[in-house]
Each structure stands twice: as C-alpha cells, then as structure tokens.
Structure 1
Amino acid sequence: MSKPIADIRIEYKRHSLSEKDVQHDPIRQFDLWWTEAISSQIEEVNAMTLATASSDGLPSARIVLLKGFTEEGFVFFTNYNSYKGQQLDENPRACLVFFWKELERQVRITGLIEKVSAEESDVYFSSRPESSRIGAWASPQSKVIESRGILETTEAELQKAFEGKEIPRPLHWGGYRLKPVSVEFWQGRPSRLHDRIHYSLEETGNWRIERLAP
C-alpha cells in the first residue's frame, strides 16, 4: 500500500532568511538567489509557473521558461494567440512562481504585463534552434486539432518551404515582460515556521520590505 498523501512531508532546514540581510531592491535579491540556483545546477532552473486570469476572473496556470530579467522586469516568450495570450490581453496582470526545491526556496512575483518590443522578440527568435522556429509557425497553440499528424504534416511542409532561407518571426509570436509590484521570497524552515520576506512597490517608487507570518 502506498504512503498516504497526508503523511508526505519534508523538514526544511538548509537556509534562513532575514529582512536585515536582504537587498533593498527585490530584483537584486532575486539575482542573488538566481546565482545560487544556477550554481546548484538545478535542472531547468528557469522553469516558472505563470498564473493568469481572464477578464471575468477565471484563473489559469502553466509552466513557462524565464528568458531574461532586468530592473524592468521578467521576460518570457510565447504565442500571442494562445490561451494565456488571450487572458493577458483581457487582463494584463499575472503572477510568476519559482520553486527551487533543492534550495528549499520559492519566489512569487506579481505584476503588470506588457509586450516586449518587436526588436527584442526578433533577437530572441533568431537565437532559437531551427526546429523551434519552425514549431512556432506550425502550431496554432491552444486551438483544437484533429490529430498530431496535422502538426507533423505542417512541420514537414514548413521545413521544405524554409529550406535554405531565413525563418522570420511570426507576428503572432513574441515576448512579454512582467513588471513587478510585489515580490515574496520564501525560505523553508523547520516546524513549518518558514521565512517569508515580502517587497511591495510604493507610489514613491521605493520598495517596502516586511516579514510575513508563515
């Protein structure tokens, strides 16, 4: 008999987090944790949950990949006509969640969504493998299709059409930037008394730092 789900638990005890020790800016704090996560050789360290909601409040979440971050925000790329793209058009607010279990850490970032420039999308698209660039053309993302064979046939046709040619970025594909208004750093601690340090953006442009109860 398998172990009851309610009995599955891990005691977190690798690190601690104090509001006295964190950076004054959440992007700089994220950069510190990001560097440690990279050094820890976490598999798909840039995988993050993207949570969106439609104009009537219907939520949806899925895993996407972080492709860059700066003081301006966090960037990812996708099909603008996808379900998440539709929700982001209706309600340009979203939340990102990173969970790095090897470090017993979680980062939750909530903010406003904007599209990156066409030039930025072009630069990233051209850096992708050829198969991924063709895939962006081949898949009508989130649409109902009759079979996988349709995708494979379309892919083969596009490979032939683009053979020996530059593959341009489809206009329906590009990047989004989440500009944070709140960021929470969660560090697992023993007895479920976890450390939670929360940053919230004030009207002055400064960040307020507070500790939250676990």
Structure 2
Amino acid sequence: MELQLMAVWMAYVIWMEAFTTNSNPKVIANYFIDAVTLRDGCPERICADHGTENGHIEQMQKFLRRPQTDNYAGERSFMHGRSTANQRMEGWWSILRKQNAQFWINLFQTIQNDGHFSGNFLDKSLIQFCFLNLIQDELDEVGQTWNSHTIRQSSQQTTYAGRPALLYLLPGVYGVEDQLKPVDSAEVYVKKSVFQRGNILVTKQFLICAAY
C-alpha cells in the first residue's frame, strides 16, 4: 500500500510511504505529524478527499491552526474535494505507476497467477516482510528524482516552472510567499505521542507458520 502527500502548486512530493495499510487514520496521521515536526510548521491549507483515512489529519490541521488569525486559520484550514478533480495529482499518479508501481503490480499478479499467493495471513505477512522495505527504497528514490527534475513552462499548467525542490525550499526566489505556518512544539509533541505508526509486526502466529 502507498500513501503520498504533495504540495500541489509546486508539485513537490512531501512523503510517499509503503506500509501494510493506506486507510488507517492513525497511520496516515503519523505521516502528517512527522512532516509537521520535521518542518516545524503546518500548511496554510490542506485539500483532501472525503476518505475516512484523512479524518485525523483534518482534526490535527484545524487544531494546530486554531490560534492563528489569517483568513484560513482554524476551521478554514482544511477543505474537502474530489481527488479526481485535481488534475496535477492524477497526473502524478500516472507517472508514479509508470515509473514504479506497475512493476510491482505485475510481479505480485504473476506470483498470484502462478499459485504462490492465496491471500491468507501467512502469504500476506511474507509479502509484506520481504518486499515493503524494497518498495519503500524505490519510492524514496522516485520522490527524490521527481523533486529534483525540471518542470518546463507550459501555457496549460498552473504550476511554476523550475525544480520542485527549489520551488518548495526557496519560494521567495520565484516571487511567492512561504505559506508554512508556525506551530506550538508542545502541541505537536502531544499529537505525535498519540499517533505512532509502529513497525511491521512479526507475530507469534507468523513465526510458527514460517517454521513449517
């Protein structure tokens, strides 16, 4: 499973994570709070679809933005929208599938077609144990390559021309204001202590099954 967040106007990938779930709100919230901690700030606004996995992110974003007084503070700092309406994100999904995900989709389909994957607990655990770290390494590489590539100017696009990493880290060079909003580190710490993703669990049942 993969989950990602993109700062859309400059097409900068903030995170891409491979894990055992992409729908657990607590897991997704952990990705968000890690990004906030690393940058010592949260976005001015977040737009996400209505999926339940975004529920905790919505609560945290509004909570962290509640003391501020700008036009998008508090309740206005999060809005819902259909993911299919975001052409830039949909375009990025297409690129990611072509550059990375399609290989793994084909591989796992072949494993299943050849009768080596039944979908039971042991098979799922083995796939996750053997492949998740490899997939994560590739996702990290794809993200770094994307963030350092050059976006060419086009009359059809609303993103800026340039390298996403520079657009994100040095917005003033492009005449754009940095919209990262400061956060209270104590409040971030409290939220971080609540949402911990943890590692892949190698359970007793898995070890017993693997022994046979």
Structure number with the bigger relative contact order (C-alpha 8 A, sep ≥ 6) is 2
TM exceeding 0.5: no
Larger proportion of strand: 1
TM-score w.r.t. structure 1 length? 0.25
TM-score w.r.t. structure 2 length? 0.25
Larger proportion of helix: 2
